[in-house]
Structure 1
């Protein structure tokens, strides 16, 4: 008798758990609706500061051809100097940035691309 009650209880709990773990709409999911507005100030500046400024400082070093210390510098690098190409290259590919480092995570690269697609807003 106790075995039957235990079996029925396990079955009932399993049914409740399985039936309650469903999603009728992708609108119910959080965090998949795309990126919010990406601006230089709220997103891109910290990416550049954390990954590029060591070489692309006010006075560039280690062969860096330009500074990336201001909004205008970074905007120009995206529009005219191939920044998106350089950060998108595969690990170890010639010209990949950050130079000599590890390729940025794709989610970070996607934020810079989103900034460009959204109009390079400051």
Structure 2
């Protein structure tokens, strides 16, 4: 009977030691301190947004703007300003008064621009 108690105590001792040396990383999520969606990809103006703007907007929103366009969209700061102050996201998503005027740009391009804005307009 005494050997059974000693065996149980040793087993309990090893169990406690094994659990106390765990790094607790398995199964634990990492804390996200920047509040970004972990599934989103980091976007940049140069690589992702500038090509969309060049292909869809600069025929009118160049410097100087043409065809009665109210502003230029030739730089990051001008595109950012248009999103923040001139409802650019609403205009590119409008079905009644779309930008560009010849029809909506692809949904994937519009979503990229919106996500770039949500990420804080990275360069």
The TM-score with structure 2 as length reference comes to: 0.66
Aligned to 2:44: 39
Tell me how far 1:34 sits from its aligned partner.
4.6
Q: What SS class does the counterpart of residue 48 from structure 1 fall into?
A: helix
Aligned to 1:67: 72
Q: How does 1:11-30 map to 2 (within 5 A)?
A: none
Aligned to 1:7: none
Q: State the distance in 2 between where 1:83 and 1:105 align.
A: 15
Aligned to 2:108: 107
Number of aligned positions between the proteins: 86
Aligned to 1:52: 57
Gapped regions of structure 1 (runs ≥ 5): 1-32
Q: State the distance in 1 between where 2:109 and 2:40 align.
A: 11
Q: Which portions of structure 1, spanning 4 or more consecutive aligned residues, are displaced by more than 3 angstroms?
A: none
Gapped regions of structure 2 (runs ≥ 5): 1-37
Q: What SS class does the counterpart of residue 79 from structure 2 fall into?
A: helix
Tell me how far 1:39 sits from its aligned partner.
1.4
